[in-house]
Structure 1
Amino acid sequence: MVASQRRSPACWSGIVRPTEASMSDQLHGSARSPLLAGKLVRPAAPAALLQRVRLLELLDASADVPVTVVAAGAGWGKSTLLSSWASTTSTVASTAWVSFDHADDEPSRFWTYVATALRPVVPAASERALAALAVPQVDPLDAAVPELLNALASLTDRHALVLDDLHELGARQIHEGLELFLDYLPAGLRVLIASRGEPPLPVARLRARGRLAELGPDDLRFTRDEASTLIAGVTRSAPPTALNEILAATQGWAVGLVLEALSLRDRRGRDGVAMRSGVHHAVDYLLSEVLAGQSEERRAFLLQSAALAKMSGALCDWVLERDGSAELLTDLDRAGLFTTVIDEDREWYQYHPLFRAALLQQLCDRGRAVQLQRRAGDWYVAQGFVEEAVRALLESGDRAGAARLLSSSGAEFLRVGAVGTYLQLGEQLGEDMAARSPALALSLAWAAGSTGQLHRVPRFLELAAVGPEGESSPGFVSLRGAAAALRSVYGAGDPDAALADARAAVALETDRTLPGWVVARVALGGALLAVGDTVAALDPLDDAWRSPVTALLPAVSRLEVAGLLAWALAQPAGDWPGSDLDPGQQARLRNLLTSTGAEAQATERALGDAAAPGVGLLHAAVGQLHLESGRPGPALLELRRAGDLVAVHAHPALASLVLATLAVVEVEHGDERTARGAIERARAALADGPAVPVASARLEVAEARAGRSAADGARRVLGEQLTDRELSVLRALRGPLSQREIGRELHLSINTVKGYTKSLYRKLDVVSRSEAVAVGRELGLC
């Protein structure tokens, strides 16, 4: 669905330390976050649940509308309503649920939750999507999201996906990806979104196309009858005589009504209204009325446990230095005191945000809260919950402690496929903390580069350079060697600069037992390939492949080294691509492909297109070998697959070289139209990187053989309407802008632009930009 161009990470997983990463780890590692399951559990019904029939009927009446947005401020009962609907509706066969918080504001993490939630609906596709998400180099829109959409399109029953608290997420890439997901949402899935405000999605466009249903505060406001029933359910007594005054004071606000009911219950029927509407007044009222009505033990527990974002009995016993916390948490939940179970085992709880804010305000002693949060960090570390430990330290204000823990835990985040989360946490520390630890700054540069955020790499390298002298980088002989290798792999400079940095890294990284030795040589080999010096690239790549350290790398990284070496071995010395390979070189290539074939096939079966970093160049090398052996048919199949994979992930120069080879072979098979499509893809790849003369020269050869005609002249009929976004992209394609520049004009990432472009090509039945524009003009679309 989407294609992206990213620089090769060159086994940068070794920057932390080599790990024994099994295929199971790569497939399921991202699902091992300790509290992931809690966000996938539909919130339990409150003790005094009121079935709001009129709202449930509104939701059911929109059963055929793909997207529903329930938008209102805190405490309006959005989650409770959607949970009640999910448990009672007969319009869907099942409902998947995800509750988000600010920790989830990272694209891979977001889609990990979505894919996990949809596992019961599309099991195989969800497993493959999760496997793809465990490969940090591959954008979710390249493999994981298409996997889900394709599987959902085949559903015969109707299902629902609830995205709760979407307002917690501010990352533009998440909203862009979700917009694309909703644009191509299959008929078998309905998405319901709960947010405190209108989500940053094309709401007006969805509304105009009849694809959006909406509920707001006016819909969620309690009527007199609903308020009477709610209060009676909480107090277990007749409605108060002052019901009209309570309703007027709360303006039908759900939390306000519950607070008043709790006060009436705990104060033994005090009948009156002291509260005014609004969040701040509710907090004041909660402090003066509801909390005051609790027992001394319960009040003390509430105030101190509020320092914790999430709670379990074991965590609270440790942090608060007491026993019996699990039973007390259960009692609070049963009493309806804004305590919610967040996991299937009923072990973890959290307080309603307003309730927690009120408790922290009452605690007053910031020092005590900090002490409790740091103790929580110690407990999380002891349990192996590194991410939660870092977050607890950040909440306590201990940025130095969080930085030390994060700096030493890169391998753990890599193991569970959470490189994006690692980067997110590092950015929360602030630049001053990164500047104090060059090793941390370099790790953050690696995380930014390996997740495709190349624009962030230079700043982290600058911070590493101003750090104190003498600090080493894990897995490398020296900090300077690590930085040089990283600049070569992810830097935005010209090929000659990348080559110079790689040679500097090789000179500095002399310890064969360290990952840095391998990384430096892969960086050098990749830089030499990028400038077309395949002969010189052979030795460093062969050294890297034969290193015992490489055998310990994760499968994708290990195969990536093999792919670079295979591509170098597959390049003929003469008139490309017609001359013969050197016999010795050809024999080495055959041995390499034979030794890696089984693992490459298993990895690709497991990861799909997300295996691109490891198997893309291997497919290209197999194609070249078939050409040398006089088997053009199999060669074309391998090169076509290689062309698809390098569009997902490859250095721009290498992607262009593969696509240029594919174009020449397509011409030899008489398909000049498809060849021109490959050439345009190669041109687009080169536009994303620095000028590489050898790639440009080979592309000119392919272009000369394919010709330069545009559309094939057949009369086109548009069988499927273009979306507004597709039309915008089509009109932008008329000009000279590259896809990256089009993204800037449309305020979209390049991956999102490529996603819409691919769908646009499918609908127009074209294979290239020039064809798309020509057909668009013929149809009066641009």
Structure 2
Amino acid sequence: MAETSDPPTDINDTASRPPLLTTKLYIPPTRPNLVPRPHLSRRLNESLSRKLTLVSAPAGFGKTTVLSEWISQHQPAVAWLSLDEGDNDPIRFWAYFISGLQQLQPGLGETTVQLFQSPQPPPLEVCLTALLNELAVVAEPFALVLDDYHYIENPTLHEAITFLLDHAPPQFHLILTTRVDPPLPLSRLRSRGQLTELRAADLRFTLAEAATFLNEVMGLNLSAEVVAALEPRTEGWIVGLQLAALSMQGRQDITAFVHAFTGSHRYIVDYLTDEVLAQQPLVTQNFLLQTAILDRFCAPLCEAVTGQPDGQSTLERLEQANLFIVALDDARQWYRYHHLFAEVLQARLRQTQPDLEPELHRRAREWLEHNKLTHEAINHALAGHDFEQAARLIERVHSVMWQNGEIKTLQAWLAAMPLSVRHTHPRLWLVQAWAAMTIGELSEADEQLREAEAALTVLDKDRARSLRPEVLAFRASYASLSRDPAAVELTQQALQALPPDYWLRGMLVVFLGAAYYATGDLPAAAEVLAQGRSMLSSPAMQSHQIHLLPLDGMVHHAQGQLRRAWSLIRQALDLVEPGGRPIPFVGTLFTY
């Protein structure tokens, strides 16, 4: 892999929550020489008295630019979250949602984050009610932008946003940008005067705005007649105008070009991208095509993927040339391509260099892994069909992800893996089993455990021997959750077989105590949990202590030892309060 400089740091990587990309929370910086659009700014200012602003239009209509320009000029109290496909994981979505709010109100929503990230979180309405109560005490009006909401397809998240809108305090305002209307109660909000809508008809450039854009922003010197001929052909579509302007630069036959400029948006993009790319130096064309596989990129990452030096100067040239590159931070270290442009570049790469794409994903994966951006590294391993590397990385991070509550992301990764890879990596069956157990899908968990057990029979002896204690640990966990009378014996066997630092060991102690509690053997439950408190005394085991102490309190309460029960609950609260963490539900265990 090519030598590269260190990446810019934008990760908030803590043990208590999933790592967050801070660039997703940056308000996109405005470009110089933007076309003024005061009529849209006025509508956005007026919208803040309503519950929701919906900015809905196809790709390339300047949705994000309009909002960033408004924020820059008027300085409203607005936070920002740029969404992507990975945000369909509810744990990740709410971690980012609340982190966005915390850009304006530090500390807001911490309790809610911990509720969502509990291994067995309470019902969604309970979590959202906690968040709404915190929003209600904020004194000043404020808003949150969810940019590119069309990436959200999880019905649970749509239901949650609906609940928030129905019950939000008057000082909170939500702004969505999207390519398609979301499944939210728009008609109801519209009828109640609680919705502001900006659509393609509102966002497209007028004739005067198109003239300003083409001549002042893009540096052309077009006559009023040429602009008047081009504007209806693009229907004010901003990206279409930008592509047309790039194609006209240096042309002598502009009038003929404009009159020949017809077709649907898709064909316009295909045609003009050919013209734009053809006018770029070969090294720039290759850079664009090869970096189009990246959801976001910085100079060192681009250098690693393309093998070309001077990544930063190349990115600066692309930005200066208006080649559909979007800065993600004020320092202009991280970038992305306009989504539509990226899609066209990716299609061209597959058409012209189909064998190169897996190699590009491999280079990206290596760089991202080296720079501890493991989630993105896994995505590139999967995109490049490098399933062995994806399996290796998932095996490395699965325990931390489980403790952070990123179950949906794990499940999505595993769903993309061929069964043949799981058969050679039985730990992936275990990861899938634990994910299923965590969300209460016990029959699915049992099926995955059986697959893991079967896979052990075809492994070499050393690998099988190292995995058997883990299989036993998961089987014991399943037995406890499914109320199997053999749970006590299986859990004892697992605790004896596992190494002292195994990540699930603390939960097995809780499961053993719960198994005794379920059978009515309260003295045995109390003894196990007392031993567990000693074993889990280190700060690294605090998440397991927060499970153990409430259960221990229940055992002593059942024994009539109310003072001791309260003392144990108080200890749990002492662990919770410094970090703002709630006591997680262990509801499945406590329904015996």
TM-score category by the smaller chain? Answer: 0.7 to 0.9
Rounded to whole Å, the distance in 2 between the matches of 1:314 and 1:517 is 40
Letter in 1 for 2:512: L
Task: Tell me how far apart the structure 2 counterparts of residues 39 and 560 of structure 1 sit (CA, whole Å).
Answer: 32
Partner residue in 1 for 2:233: 249
Distance (Å, rounded) in 2 between the aligned partners of 1:302 and 1:263: 17
Paired residue secondary structure (2:249): helix
Matched, 1:304 2:253: no
Cα distance in structure 2, aligned partners of 1:81 and 1:454: 48
> What does 1:527-542 align with in structure 2 at a 5 Å threshold?
527-542=515-530
Which letter does structure 2 place at the counterpart of 1:41?
Answer: Y
Percent identity of the aligned residues?
29
Map 1:405-424 to 2 at 5 A.
Answer: 405-414=393-402, 418-424=406-412
In structure 2, the CA distance between the partners of 1:295 and 1:266, relative to structure 1 (3 Å rule), is farther
| SS class of match (1:429) | coil
The amino acid that maps onto 1:83 is S
Query: Which structure has more RCO (C-alpha within 8 Å, separation ≥ 6)?
Result: 1
Alpha-carbon distance change, 69 to 425 in structure 1, aligned in 2, over 3 angstroms: same
Instruction: Give, in angstroms, the shift of residue 550 of structure 1.
Output: 6.2
Partner of 1:756: none
Q: Is the 8 A contact 1:476 1:517 kept in 2?
A: no
* Residue 561, structure 1, aligned to residue 544, structure 2: no
Match of 1:603 in 2: 576
Cα distance in 2 between the residues matched to 1:553 and 1:454: 28
- What corresponds to 2:6 in structure 1? none
**Which residue identity does 1:478 align to in structure 2?**
P
User: 1:161-199: per-residue Cα shift (whole Å, max 9, x none)?
Assistant: 111111111112211211111111111111111111110
State the match for 1:45 in structure 2: 30
- Residue ranges of structure 1 left out of the alignment (5+ in a row): 1-23, 573-579, 614-648, 655-685, 687-691, 693-782
Question: Given the superposition, is the C-alpha separation of residues 553 and 321 from structure 1 closer, same or farther in structure 2, using an over 3 Å criterion?
Answer: same
In structure 2, do the counterparts of structure 1 residues 152 and 475 end up closer, same or farther at CA, with 3 Å as the change threshold? farther
Q: CA deviation at 1:563?
A: 2.8
Q: Deviations over 1:456-477 (max 9, x none)?
A: 5345335434434248699975
What does 1:567-586 correspond to in 2, within 5 Å? 567-572=554-559, 581=561
Q: 1:484 aligns with which of 466, 472, 475?
A: 475
Give the letter for the 1:265 counterpart.
Q
Between the aligned partners of 1:458 and 1:244, the Cα distance in structure 2 is 67
Which of 262, 265, 285 is the equivalent residue of 2:246? 262
Task: Give the secondary structure class of the aligned counterpart of 2:248.
Answer: helix
* Map of 1:116 onto structure 2: 99
* Secondary structure at 2:61 match in 1: coil
**Structure 2 residue matching 1:510: 3-state secondary structure:** helix
1:715 aligned residue: none
Matches within 5 A, 1:654-733: 654=590, 692=592
Shift of 1:73: 1.4
Question: CA separation in 2, counterparts of 1:517 and 1:360?
Answer: 45
Does the CA-based 8 Å contact 1:485-1:501 persist in structure 2?
A: yes
Please say if residues 266 and 294 of structure 1, whose CA atoms lie closer than 8 Å, have aligned partners that are also in contact: no
Deviation digits for residues 702-747 of structure 1, max 9, x if unmatched?
A: xxxxxxxxxxxxxxxxxxxxxxxxxxxxxxxxxxxxxxxxxxxxxx
Instruction: Answer yes or no: is the 8 Å Cα contact 2:328–2:334 preserved in 1.
Output: yes
In structure 2, stretches of 5+ residues that fail to align are 1-12
1:461–1:50 Cα change, 3 Å: farther
Equivalent-residue separation in structure 2 for 1:109 and 1:52 (angstroms): 35
Match of 1:332 in 2: 318
Q: Normalising to structure 2: TM-score of the pair?
A: 0.87
| Match status 1:612 vs 2:583 | yes
CA contact (8 A) 1:69 1:194 kept: yes
SS of alignment partner, residue 367 of structure 1: coil
Shifted more, 367-376 versus 236-245: the winner is 236-245
**Residues 205 and 559 from structure 1, CA distance in 2 versus in 1: closer, same or farther, beyond 3 angstroms?**
same
C-alpha separation between the residues in 2 aligned to 1:190 and 1:517?
A: 45
1:58 matches 2:43? yes
Q: How many correspondences in the alignment?
A: 570
Question: What residue is the counterpart of 1:200 in the other structure?
Answer: 183
Q: Deviations over 1:133-186 (max 9, x none)?
A: 554432584676444322321233221111111111111221121111111111
Question: What is the CA–CA distance in structure 2 between the aligned matches of 1:130 and 1:519, rounded to whole Å?
Answer: 21
Q: Find the counterpart in structure 2 of residue 500 from structure 1.
A: 486
Quick one: distance in 2 between partners of 1:527 and 1:457?
19
- Classify 1:361/1:209 alpha carbon distance in 2 versus 1 (closer, same or farther; 3 Å): same
Contact 2:162/2:185, CA 8 A, preserved across alignment: yes
Tell me, in whole angstroms, the C-alpha distance in 1 between the residues paired with 2:589 and 2:306: 58
Which of 61, 64, 79 is the aligned partner of 1:96?
Answer: 79
Structure-2 change in CA distance of 1:488 and 1:545 (3 Å): farther
- What code does the residue aligned with 1:225 have? A
Asked if the contact 1:179/1:202 (under 8 Å) is kept, the reply is yes
Decide whether aligned partners of structure 1 residues 250 and 460 sit closer, same or farther in structure 2, where only a CA change above 3 A counts. Answer: farther
One of 132, 143, 166 as aligned partner of 1:149:
132
> 8 Å contact 1:511–1:517 — kept in the other structure?
no
Corresponding residue number in structure 1 for 2:7 = none
Q: Which amino acid aligns with 2:276?
A: V
Aligned partner of 2:477: which letter?
L
Q: Deviations over 1:2-46 (max 9, x none)?
A: xxxxxxxxxxxxxxxxxxxxxx9455x43x33xx11111122324
Distance 1:157 1:538 in 2: 50
Q: 1:52, 1:523 → 2: CA distance? A: 61
User: Which moves more between the two structures, 437-446 or 164-173?
Assistant: 437-446
Give 1:509 shift: 4.2
CA contact (8 A) 1:256 1:277 kept: no
For the 8 Å contact 1:484–1:502, the answer to whether it is kept is no
The answer to whether the 8 Å contact 1:67/1:190 transfers is: yes
Alignment-derived partner of residue 672 in structure 1: none
Q: What's 1:389 paired with?
A: 377
Q: How does 1:267-666 map to 2 (within 5 A)?
A: 267=251, 270-271=254-255, 272-273=257-258, 274-363=260-349, 364-414=352-402, 418-429=406-417, 433-450=421-438, 457-469=445-457, 470=459, 478-491=469-482, 495=483, 497=484, 499-511=485-497, 513-514=499-500, 515=502, 518-547=506-535, 551=538, 553-572=540-559, 581=561, 589=564, 593=567, 597=570, 600-607=573-580, 610-613=581-584, 649-651=585-587, 654=590
Where in structure 2 are the equivalents of 1:228-247 lying within 5 Å?
228-240=211-223, 241-247=225-231
Specify the SS of the correspondent of 2:582. Answer: helix
Preserved CA contact (<8 Å) 1:74 1:196? yes
> CA 1:462/1:227 → structure 2, altered by over 3 Å: closer, same or farther?
farther
Map Cα deviations across residues 635-694 of structure 1 (whole Å, 9 max, x no partner).
Answer: xxxxxxxxxxxxxx232573xxxxxxxxxxxxxxxxxxxxxxxxxxxxxxx6xxxxx4xx
Decide which moves more: 242-251 or 315-324: 242-251
Shift of 1:95: 0.9
8 Å CA contact retained: 2:55, 2:63:
yes
Partner amino acid for 2:541?
Answer: P
Aligned position for 2:64 = 79
CA offsets 1:34-62 (integer angstroms, 9 cap, x no match):
xx111111223245422222222222333
Measured after TM superposition, the shift of residue 110 of structure 1 is 0.8
**Matched residues in 2 for 1:474 and 1:159: separation?**
57
What does 1:752-771 correspond to in 2, within 5 Å? none
**TM-score, scaled to structure 1:** 0.67
Contact 1:229-1:239 within 8 A present in 2 as well: no
SS of aligned partner of 1:125: coil
Whole-angstrom distance in 1 between the partners of 2:493 and 2:88: 40
Asked if the contact 2:79/2:101 (under 8 Å) is kept, the reply is: yes
Distance 1:148 1:248, change over 3 A: same
Name which one, 1 or 2, has greater alpha-carbon Rg.
1
Shift of 1:517: 5.5
SS at match of 1:178: helix
1:612-647 CA-partner distances (Å, limit 9, x unpaired): 22xxxxxxxxxxxxxxxxxxxxxxxxxxxxxxxxxx
Describe how 1:5-20 pairs up with structure 2 within 5 A.
none
Cα distance 1:558–1:226, how it changes in 2: closer, same or farther (>3 A)? same
Give the deviation of 1:257 after TM superposition.
1.1
AA of the residue aligned to 2:474: A
